[in-house]
Amino acid sequence: MKKVSDKRKVQLIEYKQLKKEWFEDENNQFCYACCTLKHYHPDATPTRNLCIHHTFGRENKLLNDTSKWKTLCFFHNNFVETSTNWARENGLKFK
> What pLDDT shows up at residue 51?
97
Q: What is the pLDDT of residues 10-64, one digit of tens each?
A: 999 999 999 999 999 999 999 999 999 999 999 999 999 999 999 999 999 999 9
pLDDT band of residue 2 (cuts 50, 70, 90) is confident
CA-to-CA distance for 17 and 90, rounded, in angstroms?
A: 28
CA-to-CA distance for 49 and 68, rounded, in angstroms?
A: 20
The answer to whether 80 touches 87, Cβ cutoff 8 Å, is yes
Nearest to 39 by CA among 6, 70, 8, 1: 70
Strand duo 69-73 + 50-54: pairing: antiparallel
